[in-house]
Structure 1
Amino acid sequence: MLLIMGVTFYTSRVILAALGEIDFGIYSVVGGMALMFAFFSSSLSNATQRFLNIALGREDLEEASRVFSLSQASFFLLSLFVLLLAEVIGLWFIYNKLVIPVDRLDAALWVFHATVISLFFTVNGIVFNSVLVARENFQVYAYIGIFEALAKLAIALALSFTDSDRLKLYSSLYVGMTIVVQLFYAAYCICKYEECRIGFFWDKKLFTQLSSFIGWNTFGTAVWALNGQGMSMLMNTFFGVSVNAARGISSQVEQAINNFNTGFITATKPQVVKMFATGQYNPFVKLTFDSSRFSFFLMLALSLPVIFQRELILTIWLGEPPALASAFVFWALIFSLVNSLTNPLWNAIQAIGNLRSYIIIGGVVYSLAFPLSYVGLLWFHNPVLPLVILTIVRFIYVFVSLGILKKYIRLSITNYIGRVVGPIVYVVLPAGLGHYLLQTLYSPKGIVSLIFFGCISLAVTLSCIYIFGIKSDERLWVKTKIKLIIHL
């Protein structure tokens, strides 16, 4: 993951230099807008994973095969519908709403069409990705992640050797890479797993269950998409593509760090579903709480050095970063820290399967961010304000999620505060103070001193987590692992 993150950061620098700030901003907002039509993709993935996990937990390969076949056929038909919908609505939005330089409109349309094609293959690949997660085969993900990072770097470097339109070339090569990756996932799963057999299958009862789960899940992810990519389009409407370039940079930093956390949460998800499906409710709650706590700690350890040295990192990384990139990175990472608490709760809700109350109430609360941001921009005209509002609303969303979870399982909010929020506060305060003092006493000037700062930062954060953030049995486990490593 560290290798992938390093390559990703360097790739972004090469791409920004090759495309320029305007084209980079166009790619961020137009490509992101096209991908917004994939807001339901996580719903499809979550539904397929849940039903596959239940079937595999019961060791029922025939049921798993039925889930796979029905999902695969349904996703193909849905991808055709999305292709048409994206082309109609997306083109209207580009021509009538987005602020794009006239001489780059043709390139923006090229980016949009290329991204829609990529979306088609991605949607059809969801079922194969779901199988890998349900089977807990994360090694393949790691290898493909390395391939994708290196392929993106190769694409970025190739831009420097062409006189053609670099934005068009970049989007075309990126689509090609996406198609290759999705075809590999399909071929691998078909060859390795018995339940992955292409063919038409119809089961009305199973389809109804999948549709219900997907429907409510889709509503929730639609709200997420509106408050994510919707914010980028809102910024474009008020400030143009230059601000989108800064937001695009912060999104890449956020995504690179989130990849660590996503891997951790994804690894716990099959176990959460299987525990609930087999009636292990106390371990289910314990794993949900513990994964919330460790998810936050992981994000904190990775985010603190970036937060305190973000301006130097952006300068080393990009040379001349877009204006406001530093402020966007700060709030993007604060948002990610808060969001790391919600992901395990969302996994628990999906394991239970009763999404209606969670989606309706949580969706209403979270959707407030968009209108509040619009009004805030009208009043204050500050491009960073939407991220601040989004972070505050997301924090409220954590406790709304807990209140809804309490309806379905024996979950104590007081217990959550004691086992999750309390240790987090005890870690954040000394770790934050330690980093403030470290920054005051030691100010890195170059990449070597920055790496040294990062090592000290990691040591400070891990020490605070070890002393204040984990329980005695967890501390004993850490000691045992350290002793084993030393004796190797």
Structure 2
Amino acid sequence: MNKKDNNKRIAKNTVLLYCRQLISLGLSLYTSRLVLKILGETDFGIYATVGGITAFLSVIITSMSASSQRFLSFNLGKGDIKGVINVFSTSNQIHVFLALIILVLGETVGLWFVNNHLNIESTRLHVAIIVYQISLLNCIFAIISVPYNALIIANECMGAFALFSIGDTILKFIGVILLPFISIDYLIGYALIICVVQLFSRLTMWWFCAVKFPNIKYCHKYYPSLFKQMFGIAGWNSLNSIATTCYLQGSVITLNIFFGPIINAAYSVAMQAYSGLRQFCSSFQSASAPQIVKYYAVEENDALFRLLGFVCKISFFLLFFLTLPFVLTANNILSFWLENVPPYASIFFIWMIISAYFDIFSYPLDIAAQASGNMAKYSCITSTLTILILPVTYQLYCIKFPPETILCVAVIIGLVNCLVRIKILSSLIGLCFKTFTLNIICRCILTAAISSIIPILSKLYLPTISFRILIIIGITILSTSIGIWFFGLEQSEQNYISSNLKKIKYKLIN
């Protein structure tokens, strides 16, 4: 395995995914603004809540997608095309079966929950149920598309993956523009638009896989041992998915129960703004995930540990660099984005970003654990810690704690969970807990603390002038850039970045 080519591939894929995310972010944020304006805060909150129910039912999607990618990447790393075909076929069988299970659960347990436990006005309940049924159909489309999505990522076709995402975002944007001209309830119309776009996107993805990978086709064979292996990893990994869903989607339901749809709207707005920033880092992580598995498959442990540390560190710095200006100017940014900012939106946004500073390490560490194939201990402990966020928050809400409490709890548990992940990986793949914690985690936190001093002081003491926000953002960008360069990066990393910048400059000049 040529490490230099692998690094170039990761860099190329990262650039492609960043371009995709830049376009998608701009369109998604403006689309969200239009949707909030058209639907209003109450209907916007209803959609976020009902969508959370179907997301909770489809929790298995994430775990099975990770399982499929793991086995596809593992066999691709070994050059076993027959193994890839077997995994792809088995994955299709599993997901059709899972789609039927989700459909049954959605039409029974999920529908019962919407009718009996959500805080929705009686005059809008029938609309909420229709939107729920449409969202459930979206969920089914997503489930049966997992094998194809996993095949594209495992083969590192990030250009196609980026185009699908951009096309999906553009179609949603066009649909929202046309929404006021549709002669049906706007909330139902919006749900239908999302459903049609999802269906078109999935059909396009299936067509691409058929053309790009003609040798990898579904075969009508059943492989019991492979089925058991994939379900084994997915089963343990689903614990993490359930815990994460309880935090992300269960929080929407909990906030709805205690505070109503208006707070749901604020939470949803903050989540969309935060998700756009978070996905910049996810792009880099997604580009490196197949290589983490492939390094493990060929037992190149030194390369695996270096890549794992690099991905964690750079992911943190990218997130920190992008989000600190937003943390310091959250009210102004949201006011510029939206005409009417829902109450609590800015404080939700800030706490989401703070919690993400520790959560950002979870994805690459989870990929390393999945590569080992031994997920039982790892998943049980980490998922238990994550799922504690909801019951702890529920009890605090019962004694009148404010809405942002759920995110404050997430910050504390997120730090503990990060350290636990590293400790367990020390026994799974031989990762050194002390070295990784000091060189990666502590270094990232120290760099963030040092880089934040001057921006925070500028926010506190700069006089109130018309372009004060621009000065704060400028100071923040400069401070974080200097801090990351001198305190966050090692000499070899600085040299690597400098050499690549020189190459880019040379190409531009010549």
Q: Is the 8 A contact 1:50 1:350 kept in 2?
A: yes
Identify which of 428, 445, 467 aligns with 2:448: 428
2:240 aligned residue = 220
Q: Distance in 1 between matches of 2:463 and 2:81?
A: 58
Equivalence map 1:310-329=2 (5 Å): 310-329=330-349
Residue equivalent to 1:179: 199
Cα offset, 1:382, TM superposition: 1.1
Alignment match, 1:476: 495
Question: How do residues 24-63 of structure 1 correspond to structure 2 at under 5 angstroms?
Answer: 24-63=44-83
Partner of 1:485: 504
User: What pairs with 1:124-135 in structure 2 (closer than 5 Å)?
Assistant: 124-135=144-155
Q: Cα gap change, 1:14/1:97 in structure 2, threshold over 3 Å: closer, same or farther?
A: same
SS in 2 for 1:354: coil
Provide closer, same or farther for how the CA distance between residues 349 and 195 of structure 1 changes in structure 2, counting only shifts above 3 A: farther
Quote how far apart the aligned CAs of 1:409 are: 2.6
The Cα of 1:445 is off from its aligned counterpart by 5.0
The alpha carbon displacement at 1:444 in A equals 7.5
Quick check: 370-379 or 425-434, which moved more?
Answer: 425-434
1:94 to 109, 114, 135: 114
Q: Does 1:418 align with 2:438?
A: yes
Task: Give distance in 2, aligned partners of 1:278 and 1:272.
Answer: 10
Q: In 2, are the aligned partners of 1:47 and 1:214 still within 8 Å (CA)?
A: yes
1:466 corresponds to 2:489: no
Deviation at residue 275 of structure 1 after TM alignment: 0.7
Structure-2 residue corresponding to 1:441: 462
Q: Which of 220, 229, 237 is the aligned partner of 2:249?
A: 229
- With 120-129 and 357-366 compared, the bigger mean Cα shift is at 357-366
Q: What is the deviation of 1:458?
A: 2.8
1:205 match: secondary structure = helix
TM-score (normalised: structure 1): 0.96
1:262 to 282, 286, 293: 282
SS of the equivalent of 1:199 reads: coil
Give the one of 165, 169, 181 matched to 2:189: 169
- Matching residue's letter, 1:301: F
The answer to whether the 8 A contact 1:254-1:336 is kept is no
One-letter amino acid of the structure 1 residue matched with residue 500 of structure 2: K
Structure 2 unaligned spans of 5+: 1-20
Q: Counterpart of 1:368 in structure 2: which amino acid?
A: L
Give the residue type in structure 1 aligned to 2:135.
T
Question: 1:64·1:195 contact (CA, 8 Å) conserved in 2?
Answer: no
Measure, in 2, the Cα distance between the counterparts of 1:200 and 1:456: 60
- Aligned counterpart for 1:194 among listed residues 181, 196, 214: 214
Identity of counterpart residues, as a percentage?
28
Which one of 101, 104, 108 corresponds to residue 84 of structure 1?
A: 104
CA contact (8 A) 2:54 2:136 kept: yes
User: 1:366 aligned to 2:380?
Assistant: no
Cα deviation for residue 42 of structure 1 reads 1.1
Q: Secondary structure at the match of 1:319?
A: coil
Q: How many residues align?
A: 486
1:106 aligns with 2:126: yes
Mapped to 2, the partners of 1:165 and 1:108 lie a distance apart of 11
Q: CA deviation at 1:456?
A: 4.7
Normalising by structure 2, we get a TM-score of: 0.92
Question: Could you say if the C-alpha distance between residues 454 and 189 of structure 1 is closer, same or farther in structure 2, counting changes exceeding 3 Å?
Answer: farther
Give me the whole-angstrom Cα distance separating, in 2, the residues matched to 1:40 and 1:238: 27
User: AA paired with 1:259?
Assistant: Q
Distance (whole Å) between structure 1 residues aligned to residue 437 and residue 75 of structure 2 = 34
C-alpha root-mean-square deviation of aligned residues, in Å?
1.6
Given candidates 358, 363, 368, the residue that maps to 1:338 is 358
Residue deviations 1:241-295 (CA, integer Å, cap 9, x gap): 1110011011101211111111111111111101111111121122112211111
Q: Are 1:457 and 2:480 counterparts? A: no
2:305 aligned partner: 285
Tell me, what secondary structure is at the counterpart of 1:136? coil
Any gaps of 5 or more consecutive residues in structure 1? none
Q: Distance in 1 between matches of 2:349 and 2:125?
A: 28
**For 1:73, what is the secondary structure of its paired residue?**
helix
Q: How has the CA–CA distance of structure 1 residues 347 and 442 changed in structure 2, closer, same or farther, with 3 Å as cutoff?
A: farther
- TM-superposed deviation, 1:80: 1.4
Q: What amino acid maps onto 1:464 in structure 2?
A: G
Query: After superposition, where does 1:118-157 map in structure 2 within 5 Å?
Result: 118-157=138-177
Give how far 1:47 is off. Answer: 0.7
Find the residue that maps to 1:407 and give its secondary structure.
helix
Q: Work out the CA distance in 2 between the residues paired with 1:47 and 1:64.
A: 13
Specify the code of the residue in structure 1 equivalent to 2:494: R
Instruction: Report which stretch shifted further, 37-46 or 417-426.
Output: 417-426
| Partner residue, 1:248 | 268
Q: Following the alignment from structure 2 to structure 1, what is the Cα–Cα distance between the partners of residues 29 and 76? A: 38
C-alpha separation between the residues in 2 aligned to 1:12 and 1:374?
Answer: 29
Does the 8 Å contact 1:466/1:475 carry over to 2? yes
Q: What is the CA deviation profile of residues 324-373 of structure 1, one whole-angstrom value per residue up to 9, with x for unaligned ones?
A: 00110011111112110122111111111100001111122222111100
